[in-house]
């Protein structure tokens, strides 16, 4: 990367946007939906009374049912080092996402809007979208992850009801994971004057920041003659701290500089957001206004220090996230996203990689507000295919447009510190791929010269030989730890990024004996051991990555595959049924932490204490057998007791990667009762302890909500964890009881998930078996404030009731 790019200081701006009466934003939430081809669907007078009423964002496939025949792929996955093709039944989640879906909504336009400009904006539609207004096609967009919009001013009729129809079509063999289906992100109609700011028209950077002064550079694209911009900068309390007026124009752009005295800096631990109010005036008349939340921050990448945020060296402690929200599918929900990020914040995560897709605006807004760094990814494929009907079909025609729209829609978010142009693209081989990589990177640089570009590369030998890795701003390596040193010596940048790491697999609460480290282990129950020693043929255990992150300053950090389990890609059970979701997550599909959560937390969360014991202590039939016990803690040593008898003290050391990060008692003999771990400080003093007891028979249900008060907006969610306990309140770790759910009052049952990758129970039905003692019930608010009651019961169990509330 050129030094001029590396040394840029800048302010990246935006969070959520609000608007004055100069423009109207209409959220198009209420639609009618039909699954199947219908050639009449775009006609204005078509009778859609029998169509299903849905709320957008919407995923038509998430309700299932699961079916092994859906998108069954006979394929050799090169990225997984497979040598022969095998039948993959759950690769894309085994959910019915394939086919055509139609959406229609009626939109009255007031006569007062005659002559106004009207923009129909989509944050994402899966996929091959064709958009019709009053029976006339106004445009299309094939890529399901793209943001896109159309000027429909001429198509909409003021003073009348208008019909908007969207046709979507998902093809078989088009994805490597569950892509979902439907209009899964927001749709809005933006009504504004012809004299106004252009859509995504602002670009704000900071060429200078210190403790006393921040210089804000704002470039705004405008339409209309004789216009001027007034800008007001407000602090978090709404006080105006700076203002400016400018009318000088270059083409369709007006540029201005505004100074903030003694600026508050946006950082991971203090994500301070200002608000810029931008007013567009024509001949003294206010024509348009946009309010934009923004943050002031400086980033730098250098050979000497790696990545710096506001002058401080920061290692990426990141996770990769697919776009699905588990049992909610791909339909965007801000409460679900916030829950994910809250759990990751507690884990100690400081960075997110959107894998392998363009992120939602809501996710970026939350990362701005909560203090996460963001690696925004664009594609999983370029010109060469991974799957028959993937993005390779659209690359030539759409790649530049998709990149431009990605950058323009999101470049003002302070959380984004890097772009990713692709992931494990087969184009890594050959000179054509090198040229393609440069072409794509140049587009990113043209549209946003302030951020570097990376690619997640898995063909490391190839990219070292052909120059592919050398031309990138930041060489991202997916796995391939044995090649880190060689890549560092050969690549000119002076650093590398672990753009994808670990791919360790585990099932929450499942433990396999004997306890052995190794790749591609499979078992008859289609589960993976939660001793966190099993991984894929191309990957490794977390501890191996920790060594490189801790010992090599030229490694910028890592993005673990993955933060949460996701639908599809059930490695190592790709060719087993039933298995329909991943095992890679640090948290399971329901968002319940696995043991591995605490291994990462012990290293990443430096503020809070971590002390975690595994496995559970219910092993009827293993009496007298060796049952290894691991402890994950931020302390360097601990003593273990079984029924009060010491098993000795273990200390972390550098004799092996495992011993450096885990405390392990390999010869513990199981006997019912309790195990207790006592963490010790460096002087040998006890500083914390944790106890696990053998549980009795399942007796009752304990409910614990992540949030007790919801917003009465019809979208807000509470995630309630149901745990089976015995008569003494001890969790029963091997319980598999069926539970039933009922929600009354000002809320409704939304979905349920137990985190079992082999479960074929449908998420939207109010019944499910717990998996290893737990599951999560999702309760949704209505638009009325008041009390919400969740009642959970199970055969032979004492039922439980939880009261929530919603408010305006």
Catalytic residues: 424, 500
CA distance 228 to 246: 6
Identify which of 772, 801, 769 has the alpha carbon closest to the alpha carbon of residue 787.
801
Contact between 455 and 421 under an 8 Å Cβ cutoff? The reply is yes
In DSSP terms, which residues pair with 802 in a beta bridge? 790
Residue 485 in tokens: 């040193």
Residue 777 in tokens: 């019930």
Residue 449 in tokens: 């010269």
Burial group, residue 349, by CB count within 10 angstroms (0-12, 13-18, 19+): buried
Identify which of 760, 792, 790, 758 has the alpha carbon closest to the alpha carbon of residue 772.
758
N residues, the chain:
808
| Cis before 514 (ω within 30) | yes
Q: 394 phi and psi, to 5 degrees?
A: -115, -5
- Measure the CA dihedral 461/465/467/468, to 10°: -30
CA distance 145 to 141: 10
Q: Three-class SS of residue 537?
A: coil
Other beta carbons less than 10 A from residue 671's beta carbon: 18
In whole angstroms, how far apart are CA 671 and each of 391, 644, 645, 679? 56, 12, 11, 22
Other beta carbons less than 10 A from residue 392's beta carbon: 19
DSSP codes joined into one string, 760-801: ---TTSSEEE-BTTEEEEEEEE-SS-EEEEEEEE-TTSB-EE
CA distance 12 to 334: 22
| Cis before 686 (ω within 30) | no
CA distance 806 to 786: 5
Residue with tokens 């737990």: 774
Q: Is the dihedral of CA 434, 439, 442, 443 positive or negative?
A: negative
Identify which of 456, 435, 503, 501 has the alpha carbon closest to the alpha carbon of residue 357.
456
Residue 697 in tokens: 């028979």
CA distance 370 to 31: 32
CA distance 493 to 701: 55
CA distance 496 to 94: 37
Burial group, residue 581, by CB count within 10 angstroms (0-12, 13-18, 19+): buried
DSSP codes joined into one string, 160-217: EEEEEEEEEEEPTT--SS----B--S-EEEEEE-SSEEEEEEEEEEEEEE-SSEEEEE
Residue 447 in tokens: 């549209």
Q: Three-class SS of residue 533?
A: coil
Burial group, residue 308, by CB count within 10 angstroms (0-12, 13-18, 19+): middle
Identify which of 610, 414, 619, 419 has the alpha carbon closest to the alpha carbon of residue 510.
619
- Measure the CA dihedral 656/659/661/663, to 10°: 170
Contact between 666 and 626 under an 8 Å Cβ cutoff? The reply is yes
């Amino acid at each position: 990367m050129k030094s001029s790019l590396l040394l840029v200081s800048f302010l990246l701006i935006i969070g959520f946007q609000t608007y004055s009466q100069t423009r109207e934003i209409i959220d198009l939430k209420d639609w009618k939906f039909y699954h199947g081809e219908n050639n009449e669907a775009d006609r204005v007078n078509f009778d859609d009374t029998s169509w299903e009423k849905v709320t957008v964002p919407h995923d038509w496939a998430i309700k299932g049912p699961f079916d092994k025949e859906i998108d069954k792929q006979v394929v050799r996955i090169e990225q997984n080092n497979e040598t022969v093709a095998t039948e993959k039944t759950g690769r894309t989640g085994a959910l019915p996402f394939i086919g055509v879906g139609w959406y229609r909504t009626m939109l009255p336009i007031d006569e007062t809007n005659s002559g106004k400009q009207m923009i129909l904006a989509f944050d994402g539609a899966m996929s091959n979208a064709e958009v019709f207004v009053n029976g006339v096609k106004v445009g299309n967009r094939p890529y399901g992850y793209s943001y896109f919009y159309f000027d429909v001013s001429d198509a909409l009729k003021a003073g009348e009801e208008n019909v908007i129809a969207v046709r979507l079509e998902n093809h078989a063999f088009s994805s490597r994971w569950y892509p979902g289906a439907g209009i899964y992100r927001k749709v809005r109609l933006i009504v504004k004057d012809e004299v106004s700011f252009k859509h995504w028209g602002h670009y704000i950077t900071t060429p200078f920041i210190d403790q006393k002064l921040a210089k804000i550079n704002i470039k705004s694209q405008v339409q209309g003659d004789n216009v001027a911009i007034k800008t007001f900068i407000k602090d978090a309390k709404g006080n105006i701290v700076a203002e400016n007026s400018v009318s000088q124009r270059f083409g369709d752009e007006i540029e201005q500089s505004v100074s903030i005295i003694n600026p508050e800096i946006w950082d991971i631990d203090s994500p301070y957001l200002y608000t810029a109010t931008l007013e567009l005036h024509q001949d003294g008349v206010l024509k348009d206004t946009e309010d934009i939340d923004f943050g002031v921050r400086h980033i730098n990448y250098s050979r000497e220090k790696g990545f710096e945020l506001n002058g401080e060296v920061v290692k990426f402690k990141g996770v990769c996230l697919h776009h699905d929200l588990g049992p909610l599918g791909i339909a965007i929900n801000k409460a679900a996203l916030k829950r994910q990020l809250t759990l990751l914040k507690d884990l100690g995560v400081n960075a997110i990689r959107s894998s392998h897709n363009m992120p939602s605006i809501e996710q970026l807004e939350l990362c701005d507000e909560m203090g996460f760094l963001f690696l925004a990814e664009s594609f999983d494929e370029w010109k060469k295919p991974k799957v028959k009907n993937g993005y390779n079909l659209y690359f030539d025609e759409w790649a530049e447009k998709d990149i431009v729209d990605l950058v323009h829609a999101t470049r003002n978010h302070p959380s984004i510190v890097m772009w990713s142009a692709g992931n494990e693209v087969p184009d890594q081989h050959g000179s054509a791929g090198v040229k393609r990589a440069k072409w794509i990177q140049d587009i990113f640089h043209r549209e946003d010269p302030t951020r570097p570009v990376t690619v997640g590369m898995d063909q490391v030998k190839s990219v070292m030989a052909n120059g592919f890795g050398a031309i990138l701003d930041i060489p991202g390596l997916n796995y391939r730890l044995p090649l880190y040193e060689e890549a560092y010596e050969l690549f000119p940048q002076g650093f590398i990024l672990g753009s994808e790491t670990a791919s360790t697999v585990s099932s929450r609460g499942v433990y396999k004996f004997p306890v052995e480290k190794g790749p591609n282990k499979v078992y008859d129950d289609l589960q993976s051991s939660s001793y966190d020693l099993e991984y894929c043929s191309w990957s490794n255990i977390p501890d191996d990555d920790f060594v490189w992150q801790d010992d090599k300053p030229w490694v910028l950090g890592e993005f673990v595959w993955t933060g949460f389990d996701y639908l599809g890609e059930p490695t190592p059970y790709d060719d087993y049924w039933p298995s329909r979701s991943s095992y890679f997550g640090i948290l399971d599909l329901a968002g319940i932490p696995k043991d591995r959560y605490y291994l990462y937390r012990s290293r990443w969360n430096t503020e809070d204490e971590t002390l975690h014991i595994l496995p559970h202590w219910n092993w009827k039939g293993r009496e007298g057998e060796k049952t290894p016990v691991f402890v994950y803690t931020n302390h360097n040593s601990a003593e273990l007791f079984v029924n009060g008898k010491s098993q000795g003290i273990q200390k972390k050391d550098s004799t092996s990667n495992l011993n450096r990060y885990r405390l392990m008692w390999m010869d513990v003999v199981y006997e019912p009762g309790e195990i207790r771990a006592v963490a010790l400080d460096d002087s040998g003093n006890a500083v914390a302890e944790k106890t696990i007891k053998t549980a009795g028979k399942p007796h009752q249900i304990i409910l614990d909500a992540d949030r007790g008060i919801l917003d009465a907006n019809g979208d807000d969610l509470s995630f309630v964890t149901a745990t089976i306990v015995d008569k003494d309140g001890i969790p029963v770790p091997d319980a598999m009881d069926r539970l039933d759910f009922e929600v009354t009052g000002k809320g409704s049952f939304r979905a349920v998930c137990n985190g079992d990758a082999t479960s074929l129970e449908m998420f939207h039905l109010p019944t499910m078996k717990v998996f290893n003692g737990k599951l999560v019930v999702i309760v949704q608010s209505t638009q009325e404030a008041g009390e919400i009651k969740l009642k959970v019961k199970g055969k032979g169990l004492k039922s439980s009731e939880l009261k929530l509330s919603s408010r305006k």
